Amino acid sequence: MAPSITYITSSELLARKTSPKIAIIDVRDYERSQDGHIAGSLHFASGTFLEKFPSLVEATKDKDTIVFHCALSQVRGPRCARKLAEHLANAEGVGVKNVMVLERGFNGWTASGKPICRCTDVPCKGESITSPGESPQTLFQLSLIPKFAHIHRLSAANLTCGETEMVCLACLLPLFLVPIVNLLPLLFDFVMAKVYRLFGWEYQKPERAPPACPIKPSASKTGTNSSVTGKDNLAAPDPTRKSVGADDNKQD
């Protein structure tokens, strides 16, 4: 009888993954080398899973629990887990009792803040464990800053929670941009006045209109003129109207 396939959460797997009787099978393809992997996991890519299936059976013969996962554990992970479960149904003398799938996959593992490994060893020895979001590029860029040259491990949570003294200069740029823009006309007038003075000329500052308020709309000149014209029309007599009882300057 084939063992039933169940799901395991990332927290449960983190607590049990150090057991020698559990094997974690990563069936992702190219994502493993780019995004990292769970420390101690075995890599059997889904693209060549059937070809390397005998090697998987040999590598997990002394395990009682096997956990499969892909990026989201929605297609590749469950499909490979079913393949192993079908094989175990017809196999004899196999010690595997539990076939599981990691809930939410590797993406859920990293999203929950679990540690990952970025080593290139086969099999993985778990010697390059880092926090999620801590890429080698980030560590290299930080090492170039003298203030952070001593930092070797810095997680994304530390950067967002303010546990370090690092300040993003790009975030402070808008604070200095507005005063600089306002000072540019004054700086231009100062330089031009110096240049004019060298030639004995007098520099007159040009009149600059203040910027319009983006909240309060400007008054409509058309509406004002029309209202004034309306008042003028009310005050002016209508030349086409005739007085009552008068017909071509004739009177009764």
List the catalytic residue out of 70, 80, 117, 124: 70
Please give the Cα distance from 117 to 187 (Å, whole number).
54
Please give the Cα distance from 85 to 83 (Å, whole number).
5
Cα dihedral across residues 148, 149, 152, 156: positive or negative: positive
Within 13 Å of residue 131, how many CA atoms lie on the same side as its CB? 13
* SS3 assignment for 29-53: CCHHHHHCECCCCEECCHHHCCCCH
The reply to whether 213 belongs to the active site is: no
Contact 37, 116 (CB under 8 A): yes
- Residue 79 CB coordination number (10 Å): 15
What tokens were used for 27?
A: 């069936």
Query: Active-site residues: which are they?
Result: 70
